[in-house]
Every structure is written in structure tokens, then in C-alpha cells.
Amino acid sequence: VKSEAEAVAALLAELTMRGDVRVGIGDDAAVIGPDPGTLLAHDMIVENVHFRWSTHSAADIGHLCLAVNLSDIAAMGGQPTAAVVGIAGPLEQLGEIGLRHMYRAMDALAESAGCAIVGGDLSQAPVTVIGVTVIGVMPSGVAPVTRSGANIGDALCITGSLGRSAAGRALLDDPPRHPTPQMTALMDAHRRPTPRLSEGRLLAAGGATAMMDISDGLLIDAARLAAASGHRVVLDLDSLPVEPDVAAVARSRAARPDVFAASGGEDYELLVTLRPGLLGPLGDLVIQIGEVREGPTGLQVVRGTTPVSVHDRGWDHLRSPAG
């Protein structure tokens, strides 16, 4: 399906940038209007594509659909201010109680993020599709951090460990009879990701050169950052932060933990590039997993000094690069 995704990316890219659009299609969020500009992010989640009623509660889904959009604001270094929510689905089946769970979980997350749900739409549909748009602002004096600003010599870093969501999904696919608290935490990491809003703001204010959130997996997303920045990005699998519980799930599925973590997706950690001098002051926020080097534009994966050939998991849920 990759060619279709590429075709769609080309279609989106062809849409003209009119008016006062400072960052448009292709980054985590658009930036509109006079300096400092309004941030604008939109993502949809679809039943049986991004979530399943068999493994997600209505509250999980409410949390998830807002979280993925807040993550896009986090990836610019912004502060969300307001969200609108469109819910299409089988309303009789969702029921008033289901909708209440969904809205309240969404509202609790909005509150913790310092924004408000200010409107929306509700419609009958045979499957559940939830679209959320979040607007936000940049902290005073801080410019939005795009995917395209990485410079040669920058360190490639990540805000947390990888593969937790993929491990949680694997556990939800084949549920343990007696889940440990660690397993439950992984399943919750998949169902209720935490957008890295404060980390994003601190990294933007601290001088991050490029930033994006990891939604489709580190391998895909790091390749996008490399392409947007026009540089060679070297990713060292040996340096990936992978928790023992995640590694155990990966091995039980006959996967190498580092590849499992790098290709899993939906972690919503921030991938960021920093001048090496910033690794000290910002070292509590990030772990270095690679660097930006001279060479042909693109992602190069290594283990230590050995080049590695890995296959990404493909565009299996066909998100646009603007997501």
C-alpha cells in the first residue's frame, strides 16, 4: 500500500499554501497566522484500525483520540488551548453511558493538559470514527520546532523507552490469564498513551533543532525526520532504551527486542535532535539513540558500528505524513 500512501502524500503536498501559513502539511501540527502563530493538529482514530472495542473501553478510546492530537502539539513544543471532537458511530450501541465515559476520560486528559474541549459533532455511522482537532500556542519567545531543522553533528534523542505500546498490544492480542502489574502497565501504555507535553515545551525552549512524535514507529518516523531535514540520520539500535518487560514480550513473540521496540509504533515519545552541548542540560529529559552525520539523506540503522538492514512494518494503517 506504500505507493498509495505516497500518492496521497503528494496530493496533500500539492494543496497550495495560501495566506499566513508558517508551517503546513507534513509536520506534526500546522502553524498559522502572525508570529507566534496558532498550532493546529488533527488526527482521527478508527474502529478496528487504531483501536478495537474488544480491548479498549469507551474511556480508553476517549483518552486515546485526544492523546494522539495532544502529542502532535507536544512535538512542536506547544501548549494546547482547546480541542473539538467529532464522534461518528453506532450511537444506539455506544449509548449515553458509553458516550459519557468517552467524554469524561477525554475531559480529564484535557484538564491535565491545561486545555478545554469547546465543541464538536456527533453523527450516526456504522463504525466508530473519532476525529479530534487541537489548537495551541507556543510559549512566549519560543519558535515551533519542526521536523526539518536537524543539523549535522546533532544528537538524535528520545524522551522515554520504546516498545511499551507494541508490547501492550501484543499482550492484548493474547491476554495473559494472570497479568502482572507490569503487564497491565504495558497494556495501559497502549490504550492510554501519555502525550509528552512538558517535555516538548522544555526541549523547544532548550534549543531542540528538530522534533516529532513517534506514532508509526521509530524506523518510519526517524526516516521522516531525516528526509525533512535533508540529512543522514544514524540510529544505533544498541542504544535504544527498551525495558526488561518489553524485551520479555518481544522474545516471547520471537522478535529481537531492539527491532520490536524500533518498529512497534504508538509510543508517542518525542524524537528530537539537539546540539551535543545540550545533552548535559537536557539530559534528564532524553536519551541519545543516534546522531546526524555527513552523508546521503536518509536513515541508516546500525548496531554499534555495524550497519543493520531492517524492514519497517510498512504503512499498515496508512496515515498521511501530515498526521
Closer CB to its own copies, 105 or 237, in the complex: 105
- Which amino acid is present at 32? I
Closer CB to its own copies, 14 or 284, in the complex: 14
Let me know: does 29 contact 83? Beta carbons within 8 Å: no
181-191 and 164-173 are packed helices; what angle lies between their axes, rounded to 10 degrees?
100
Which residues inside 263-322 make contact with its own copies, applying CB under 8 A?
317-320, 322
Distances (CA, A) of 267 to 84, 103, 165, 193: 23, 23, 5, 7
Closer CB to its own copies, 47 or 154, in the complex: 47
With b for 16 or more beta-carbon neighbours within 10 A and e for fewer, the 122-157 pattern comes to eeeeeebbbbbbbbbbbeeebbbbbbbbbeeebbbb
Q: Contact between 7 and its own copies (CB under 8 A)? A: yes
Which residues inside 169-208 make contact with its own copies, applying CB under 8 A?
none
**Rounded least distance, CB 17 to its own copies, Å:** 6
Choices 17-25, 162-170, 204-212, 278-286 (CB under 8 A): range interacting with its own copies: 17-25
Which residues inside 45-104 make contact with its own copies, applying CB under 8 A?
45-47, 49-50, 81-82, 84-86, 88, 91-92, 96, 99-100, 103
Which residues inside 108-167 make contact with its own copies, applying CB under 8 A?
110-111, 114-127, 129, 131, 133, 135, 137
Choices 43-51, 203-211, 277-285, 300-308 (CB under 8 A): range interacting with its own copies: 43-51
Choices 22-30, 144-152, 226-234, 278-286 (CB under 8 A): range interacting with its own copies: 22-30
> In the chain, which ranges are continuous DSSP H helix?
2-14, 58-74, 91-113, 164-173, 181-191, 197-206, 218-229, 244-252, 257-263
CA 146 to chain centre: 14
**Rounded least distance, CB 214 to its own copies, Å:** 16
Grid coordinates in use for 80?
494546547
Closer CB to its own copies, 40 or 157, in the complex: 40
Closer CB to its own copies, 40 or 237, in the complex: 40
**Rounded least distance, CB 94 to its own copies, Å:** 10
Closer CB to its own copies, 238 or 316, in the complex: 316
CA 308 to chain centre: 24
CA 4 to chain centre: 22
